[in-house]
Amino acid sequence: MLLQLQNIFKWVNSGGQRIFLLKDINLKVKEGEFISIMGPSGSGKSTFLNVIGMLDGFDEGSYDFLDESVHQLKEKHRAKLYKEYIGFVFQQYHLLDDLTVQENLEMPLLYKKLKGAERKAMVADMLDRFNIVGKKDLFPAQLSGGQQQLVGIARALISSPKLLLADEPTGNLNSKQGEEIMELFKQLNEEGVTIIQVTHSEKNAAYGKRIINLLDGRMI
Protein backbone atom coordinates (compact mmCIF):
# COMPACT_ATOMS: atom_id res chain seq x y z
CA MET A 1 0.00 0.00 0.00
CA LEU A 2 1.47 3.28 -1.11
CA LEU A 3 -1.10 5.62 0.37
CA GLN A 4 -4.51 5.57 1.93
CA LEU A 5 -6.99 8.42 2.46
CA GLN A 6 -9.93 7.89 4.77
CA ASN A 7 -12.93 10.17 5.24
CA ILE A 8 -11.08 13.27 4.07
CA PHE A 9 -13.02 16.51 4.43
CA LYS A 10 -11.77 19.91 3.43
CA TRP A 11 -13.72 23.13 3.64
CA VAL A 12 -13.52 26.88 3.71
CA ASN A 13 -15.76 29.23 5.63
CA SER A 14 -17.26 31.96 3.56
CA GLY A 15 -19.80 34.42 4.86
CA GLY A 16 -20.80 32.20 7.77
CA GLN A 17 -21.32 29.26 5.46
CA ARG A 18 -19.15 26.21 5.19
CA ILE A 19 -18.26 25.39 1.63
CA PHE A 20 -16.88 21.91 1.12
CA LEU A 21 -14.01 21.48 -1.27
CA LEU A 22 -13.57 17.78 -0.52
CA LYS A 23 -16.23 15.61 0.99
CA ASP A 24 -15.67 12.21 2.48
CA ILE A 25 -12.92 11.08 0.16
CA ASN A 26 -11.69 7.52 0.52
CA LEU A 27 -8.88 6.25 -1.65
CA LYS A 28 -6.29 3.50 -1.57
CA VAL A 29 -3.40 3.55 -4.00
CA LYS A 30 -1.05 0.64 -4.49
CA GLU A 31 2.39 0.93 -5.95
CA GLY A 32 2.49 0.75 -9.73
CA GLU A 33 -0.98 2.18 -10.27
CA PHE A 34 -1.81 4.81 -12.88
CA ILE A 35 -4.82 6.82 -11.81
CA SER A 36 -6.64 9.56 -13.70
CA ILE A 37 -8.80 12.02 -11.79
CA MET A 38 -11.56 13.60 -13.84
CA GLY A 39 -14.30 16.06 -13.24
CA PRO A 40 -15.66 19.42 -14.32
CA SER A 41 -14.03 22.73 -13.32
CA GLY A 42 -14.36 23.40 -9.64
CA SER A 43 -15.03 19.80 -8.73
CA GLY A 44 -11.95 19.71 -6.47
CA LYS A 45 -9.53 17.78 -8.69
CA SER A 46 -6.55 20.00 -8.05
CA THR A 47 -7.32 20.31 -4.36
CA PHE A 48 -7.49 16.54 -4.16
CA LEU A 49 -4.13 16.22 -5.90
CA ASN A 50 -2.56 18.84 -3.65
CA VAL A 51 -3.79 17.01 -0.58
CA ILE A 52 -2.25 13.80 -1.86
CA GLY A 53 0.94 15.72 -2.62
CA MET A 54 0.90 17.20 0.89
CA LEU A 55 1.08 20.70 -0.53
CA ASP A 56 -2.29 21.38 1.00
CA GLY A 57 -3.83 20.30 4.28
CA PHE A 58 -7.29 18.98 5.10
CA ASP A 59 -9.71 19.52 7.94
CA GLU A 60 -10.90 16.07 8.79
CA GLY A 61 -9.95 12.49 8.12
CA SER A 62 -6.71 10.56 8.01
CA TYR A 63 -4.00 10.17 5.42
CA ASP A 64 -1.32 7.50 5.61
CA PHE A 65 1.60 7.56 3.24
CA LEU A 66 3.89 4.51 3.37
CA ASP A 67 2.51 3.74 6.84
CA GLU A 68 3.17 7.22 8.16
CA SER A 69 0.27 9.31 9.38
CA VAL A 70 0.64 12.46 7.33
CA HIS A 71 -1.99 14.38 9.28
CA GLN A 72 0.11 14.05 12.40
CA LEU A 73 3.40 15.13 10.86
CA LYS A 74 5.02 18.50 11.23
CA GLU A 75 5.76 20.54 8.12
CA LYS A 76 9.43 19.70 8.25
CA HIS A 77 8.77 15.99 8.27
CA ARG A 78 6.17 16.25 5.57
CA ALA A 79 8.60 18.14 3.38
CA LYS A 80 11.13 15.39 3.93
CA LEU A 81 8.57 12.81 2.97
CA TYR A 82 7.52 14.34 -0.31
CA LYS A 83 11.04 15.35 -1.18
CA GLU A 84 11.89 11.69 -0.95
CA TYR A 85 8.92 10.05 -2.57
CA ILE A 86 6.86 12.49 -4.63
CA GLY A 87 7.49 14.35 -7.87
CA PHE A 88 5.25 17.11 -9.22
CA VAL A 89 4.38 18.03 -12.79
CA PHE A 90 2.39 21.23 -13.37
CA GLN A 91 0.19 22.50 -16.13
CA GLN A 92 2.25 25.73 -16.31
CA TYR A 93 5.51 23.69 -16.11
CA HIS A 94 6.78 25.99 -13.31
CA LEU A 95 10.39 25.92 -14.28
CA LEU A 96 12.59 28.57 -12.71
CA ASP A 97 13.06 31.24 -15.35
CA ASP A 98 16.46 32.27 -14.13
CA LEU A 99 17.98 28.83 -14.31
CA THR A 100 19.04 26.85 -17.36
CA VAL A 101 17.55 23.44 -18.18
CA GLN A 102 20.49 21.74 -16.58
CA GLU A 103 20.29 23.87 -13.46
CA ASN A 104 16.54 23.31 -13.18
CA LEU A 105 17.11 19.59 -13.23
CA GLU A 106 19.82 19.84 -10.63
CA MET A 107 17.73 21.78 -8.15
CA PRO A 108 15.85 18.91 -6.42
CA LEU A 109 19.18 17.13 -5.96
CA LEU A 110 20.56 20.17 -4.21
CA TYR A 111 17.73 19.96 -1.73
CA LYS A 112 18.57 16.31 -1.19
CA LYS A 113 22.12 17.39 -0.43
CA LEU A 114 23.77 15.11 -2.95
CA LYS A 115 27.42 15.58 -3.87
CA GLY A 116 28.44 17.54 -6.95
CA ALA A 117 29.75 14.62 -8.97
CA GLU A 118 26.69 12.53 -8.18
CA ARG A 119 24.40 15.36 -9.19
CA LYS A 120 26.22 15.84 -12.47
CA ALA A 121 25.90 12.19 -13.32
CA MET A 122 22.19 12.08 -12.56
CA VAL A 123 21.49 15.28 -14.53
CA ALA A 124 23.43 13.94 -17.50
CA ASP A 125 21.47 10.71 -17.25
CA MET A 126 18.15 12.55 -17.32
CA LEU A 127 19.14 14.82 -20.18
CA ASP A 128 20.13 11.75 -22.09
CA ARG A 129 16.98 9.84 -21.28
CA PHE A 130 14.71 12.67 -22.38
CA ASN A 131 16.81 13.54 -25.40
CA ILE A 132 17.41 17.14 -24.36
CA VAL A 133 21.20 17.13 -24.04
CA GLY A 134 21.43 19.81 -26.71
CA LYS A 135 19.17 22.10 -24.74
CA LYS A 136 20.89 21.87 -21.40
CA ASP A 137 22.24 25.42 -21.43
CA LEU A 138 19.07 27.08 -22.63
CA PHE A 139 16.69 29.00 -20.41
CA PRO A 140 13.01 27.91 -20.18
CA ALA A 141 11.86 30.93 -22.19
CA GLN A 142 13.91 29.61 -25.12
CA LEU A 143 12.01 26.31 -25.26
CA SER A 144 8.63 25.35 -26.69
CA GLY A 145 5.82 24.37 -24.33
CA GLY A 146 6.28 20.66 -25.00
CA GLN A 147 9.99 20.89 -24.36
CA GLN A 148 9.40 22.82 -21.17
CA GLN A 149 6.99 20.18 -19.92
CA LEU A 150 9.53 17.53 -20.80
CA VAL A 151 12.03 19.32 -18.61
CA GLY A 152 9.34 19.62 -15.93
CA ILE A 153 8.80 15.86 -15.98
CA ALA A 154 12.52 15.17 -16.03
CA ARG A 155 12.89 17.39 -13.00
CA ALA A 156 10.05 15.54 -11.23
CA LEU A 157 11.67 12.20 -11.97
CA ILE A 158 15.28 12.99 -11.26
CA SER A 159 15.10 12.10 -7.63
CA SER A 160 13.43 8.76 -8.49
CA PRO A 161 10.12 9.30 -6.73
CA LYS A 162 7.70 6.47 -6.00
CA LEU A 163 4.76 8.72 -6.89
CA LEU A 164 4.37 11.20 -9.73
CA LEU A 165 1.58 13.77 -9.37
CA ALA A 166 0.57 15.61 -12.52
CA ASP A 167 -1.94 18.43 -12.60
CA GLU A 168 -3.21 18.78 -16.18
CA PRO A 169 0.25 18.10 -17.57
CA THR A 170 -0.94 18.54 -21.15
CA GLY A 171 -3.32 21.43 -20.55
CA ASN A 172 -1.08 23.99 -22.21
CA LEU A 173 0.16 21.77 -25.01
CA ASN A 174 -1.12 20.99 -28.49
CA SER A 175 -2.48 17.54 -29.13
CA LYS A 176 0.69 16.08 -30.62
CA GLN A 177 2.86 17.27 -27.76
CA GLY A 178 0.16 16.08 -25.36
CA GLU A 179 0.18 12.65 -26.84
CA GLU A 180 3.94 12.36 -26.54
CA ILE A 181 3.76 13.30 -22.88
CA MET A 182 1.04 10.72 -22.22
CA GLU A 183 3.07 8.05 -23.99
CA LEU A 184 5.95 8.97 -21.76
CA PHE A 185 3.73 8.60 -18.69
CA LYS A 186 2.60 5.21 -19.84
CA GLN A 187 6.16 4.12 -20.35
CA LEU A 188 7.16 5.45 -16.92
CA ASN A 189 4.28 3.59 -15.33
CA GLU A 190 5.43 0.42 -16.99
CA GLU A 191 8.85 1.04 -15.45
CA GLY A 192 7.20 1.03 -12.03
CA VAL A 193 6.40 4.68 -11.23
CA THR A 194 3.02 5.24 -9.61
CA ILE A 195 1.22 8.10 -11.35
CA ILE A 196 -1.80 10.14 -10.40
CA GLN A 197 -2.88 12.69 -12.96
CA VAL A 198 -5.65 15.26 -13.12
CA THR A 199 -7.13 15.78 -16.54
CA HIS A 200 -10.05 17.17 -18.45
CA SER A 201 -9.56 14.99 -21.44
CA GLU A 202 -11.27 11.60 -21.78
CA LYS A 203 -8.56 10.54 -24.15
CA ASN A 204 -5.75 11.25 -21.74
CA ALA A 205 -7.71 9.79 -18.86
CA ALA A 206 -7.85 6.55 -20.77
CA TYR A 207 -4.11 6.11 -20.32
CA GLY A 208 -4.81 5.51 -16.65
CA LYS A 209 -5.63 2.08 -15.32
CA ARG A 210 -8.21 3.51 -12.99
CA ILE A 211 -10.36 6.61 -13.37
CA ILE A 212 -11.78 8.56 -10.46
CA ASN A 213 -14.59 10.98 -11.12
CA LEU A 214 -15.14 13.96 -8.87
CA LEU A 215 -18.17 16.21 -8.63
CA ASP A 216 -18.50 18.99 -6.07
CA GLY A 217 -15.77 17.47 -3.95
CA ARG A 218 -17.27 13.96 -3.88
CA MET A 219 -16.09 10.80 -5.55
CA ILE A 220 -18.77 9.32 -7.76
CB of 162 to another protein, least distance (A): 14
62, β-bridge pairs: 6
41, β-bridge pairs: none
**Nearer to another protein (CB atom), residue 15 or residue 176:** 15
CB of 206 to another protein, least distance (A): 26
**Nearer to another protein (CB atom), residue 172 or residue 186:** 172
Could you report how far apart the first and last alpha carbons of the chain are, in Å?
A: 22
CA pair distance 23, 145, nearest whole angstrom: 35
CB of 98 to another protein, least distance (A): 4
**Nearer to another protein (CB atom), residue 94 or residue 218:** 94
- In the complex, which residues of this chain contact another protein (CB under 8 A)? 46, 50, 53, 55-56, 75-76, 79, 82-83, 88, 90, 92, 94-96, 98-99, 103, 106-108, 110-113, 155, 159
**Nearer to another protein (CB atom), residue 96 or residue 133:** 96
Burial 174-205 (b: 16+ CB within 10 A, else e): eeebbeebbebbeebbeeebbbbbbbebeebb
CB of 168 to another protein, least distance (A): 12
CA dist list (Å): 34 to 45, 134, 164, 205: 16, 31, 9, 10
